[in-house]
A and B are shown apart, each in its own frame.
Chain A
Amino acid sequence: MSLRRHAAGLVVALAATAAMAAISQAPVPSGEGTTGTLRLAWRARPERIERCVERDASEVAALPAHMRQTVICDGFAASYRLEVRVDNELVVSDRVMPGGLRRDRPLYVFREIDVAPGIATVDITFTRIEESDTTESGRDLLREAVPPDLRWTADRSFAPGQVRLITYDPQRRALVEITGRSTGASANLPRIPRRGGPP
Chain B
Amino acid sequence: MLQRLERFSLAALSRLDAWCNRWYGARLNPLYQSGTIVVGLYLVLLVTGLYLLLFYRVAAPWESVARLTADAWVGRTIRGVHRYATGAAVVFTLVHAIRMFAQARSWGARAMAWLSGVVLLVLLVGCAWTGYVMVWDVFGERLAREAARMADSLPFLSEPVSRTFTGERPVPTFFFFVTLFAHVAVPLGMGVVFWLHVRRLQRPRLLPPRPLLWSVVGLLIAAAVSLPVALAPEADPFVRHARIQADLLIAPWLPPAPRLSGGALLGVLAAGCVLLFVVPLLTRRRGARQPMPSVVDEDVCTGCTQCSIDCPYGAIEMVARTDGRPTPVARVDPALCVSCGICAGSCAPMSIGPPGRTGRDQLAAVGSLLDSSRLPPSGVVVVGCTYSAGAFATLLEREGAAFHGVDCAGNLHTSVVERLIRGGIPGVLVIACHTRDCRHREGSRWLVERVFHERDAELQARVPRSRVRVIHAGARESARAIAALRRFIVDLTLIGRVVRLDDDLDDMAECEAAEVNEVPQ
The chain A residues found within 8 Å of chain B, CB to CB, are 1, 5-6, 8-9, 12-14, 17-18, 20-34, 37, 39, 41-43, 99-100, 105-106, 108, 110, 160-165, 167, 178-190
A89 to chain B, nearest CB (A): 22
* Chain B residue at minimal CB-CB distance from A13: B219
| Segment at the interface with A among B249-257, B328-336, B449-457, B473-481 | B249-257
CB of B83 within 8 A of chain A? yes
**Number of residues in B with C-beta < 8 Å to the partner?**
67
* Shortest distance from the beta carbon of A192 to any chain B beta carbon, whole Å: 14
- Nearest 4 A/B pairs, CB to CB: A9-B23, A31-B258, A99-B158, A33-B242
B235 within 8 A of A: yes
Our pick among B22, B84, B171 for the contact of A21 (Cβ within 8 Å) is: B84
Is B168's CB under 8 angstroms from A31's CB?
no
Indicate if the CB atoms of A165 and B158 lie closer than 8 Å: no
> Which of B86, B170, B230, B243 is the one whose CB lies under 8 Å from A185?
B170
A176 to chain B, nearest CB (A): 10
Find out whether the CB atom of B246 lies under 8 angstroms from the CB atom of A28: yes
Instruction: Compute how far the CA of A143 lies from the CA of B258 in the bound complex, rounded to whole angstroms.
Output: 38
Q: B243 — which chain A residues lie within 8 A by C-beta? A: 27-30, 33
**Dominant secondary structure at the A interface:** mixed
Check A25 against B245 for contact (C-beta < 8 Å): yes
Cα-based distance from A182 to B233 in the complex (angstroms): 14
Q: Identify 22 residue pairs between A and B in the complex whose beta-carbon atoms are under 8 Å apart, listed by A's number.
A: A8-B23, A9-B23, A9-B24, A12-B23, A17-B219, A22-B227, A24-B249, A25-B246, A26-B247, A26-B248, A28-B244, A29-B242, A30-B244, A30-B254, A31-B257, A31-B259, A108-B163, A163-B237, A183-B171, A184-B61, A184-B136, A185-B175
B73 within 8 A of A: no
| CB atoms of B158 and A105 under 8 A apart | yes
B171, A39: Cβ atoms closer than 8 Å: no
- Interface presence of B220 (CB below 8 A): yes
Among B230, B240, B246, the one with the most A-chain Cβ atoms within 10 Å of its Cβ is: B240
B73-113 vs A, Cβ < 8 Å mask (1 yes, 0 no): 00000000001101110010000000000000000000000
CA distance A21 to B245 in the complex (A): 12
Instruction: Establish whether residues B84 and A24, one from each chain, have CB atoms under 8 Å apart when the complex forms.
Output: yes
Q: Confirm or deny: B213 has a beta carbon within 8 angstroms of a beta carbon on chain A.
A: no
Q: Is the CB of B168 within 8 A of A190?
A: yes
A34 with B242, Cβ < 8 A, contacts A28-B254, A41-B166, A185-B61 known? yes
20 more A-B residue pairs beyond the given contacts A108-B158, A185-B172, with a C-beta to C-beta distance below 8 A? A6-B23, A13-B215, A18-B227, A20-B249, A25-B230, A29-B243, A30-B242, A33-B241, A37-B240, A108-B159, A110-B166, A163-B237, A181-B236, A184-B62, A184-B234, A184-B235, A185-B58, A185-B176, A186-B63, A188-B170
Q: Is B59 an interface residue (CB 8 A)?
A: yes
Give the distance to chain A from B436, nearest Cβ to Cβ, in Å.
17
Are B255's CB and A20's CB within 8 A?
A: no
On chain B, the residues within 8 Å of A14 by CB distance are 219, 222
- Give the residues in chain B near A18, CB-CB below 8 Å: 223, 227
Q: Which of B58, B83, B163, B257 has the most CB of A within 10 A?
A: B163
Q: Is the CB of A5 within 8 A of B22?
A: yes
**How far apart are the CA atoms of A21 and B249 in the complex, in Å?**
10
Residues B257 and A25 in contact, CB atoms below 8 Å apart: no
Q: Is A189 a contact of B169 with CB atoms below 8 Å?
A: yes
Residues of A within 8 Å of B84, CB to CB, are: 17, 20-21, 24
B54 at the interface (CB under 8 A from A): no
A186–B60 contact, CB under 8 A?
yes
Instruction: Judge if B162 is at the interface, Cβ distance under 8 Å.
Output: yes
Q: Are A162 and B167 in contact (CB under 8 A)?
A: no
Q: How far is the CA of A25 from the CA of B254 in the complex (A)?
A: 13
Residues of A within 8 A of B256 (CB): 31
Could you tell me the distance between the alpha carbons of A14 and B218 in the complex, rounded to whole angstroms? 10
In the complex, are the beta carbons of B60 and A25 less than 8 A apart?
no
CB-contact partner of B170 in A30, A167, A184, under 8 A: A184
CB of B229 within 8 A of CB of A25, answer yes
Most B CB contacts (10 A, CB to CB) among A13, A29, A163, A184 go to: A184
Which chain B residues border A185 with CB–CB below 8 Å?
A: 58-61, 170-173, 175-176
- CB contacts (< 8 Å) of B88 on chain A: these are 20
Chain B neighbourhood of A30, CB < 8 A: 142, 240-244, 246, 254-255, 258
Residues of chain A within 8 A (CB-CB) of B288 are none
Question: In the complex the two chains form, what is the Cα distance from A95 to B303 in whole Å?
Answer: 77
Kindly provide the distance from the CB of A77 to the nearest chain B CB, expressed in whole angstroms: 13
Nearest CB of B to A6, in Å: 8
Q: Which residue of A lies closest to B245 (CB)?
A: A25
**Is B25 at the interface (CB under 8 A from chain A)?**
yes
How far apart are the CA atoms of A163 and B230 in the complex, in Å? 25
For A178, what are the chain B residues with a Cβ–Cβ distance below 8 Å? 167-168
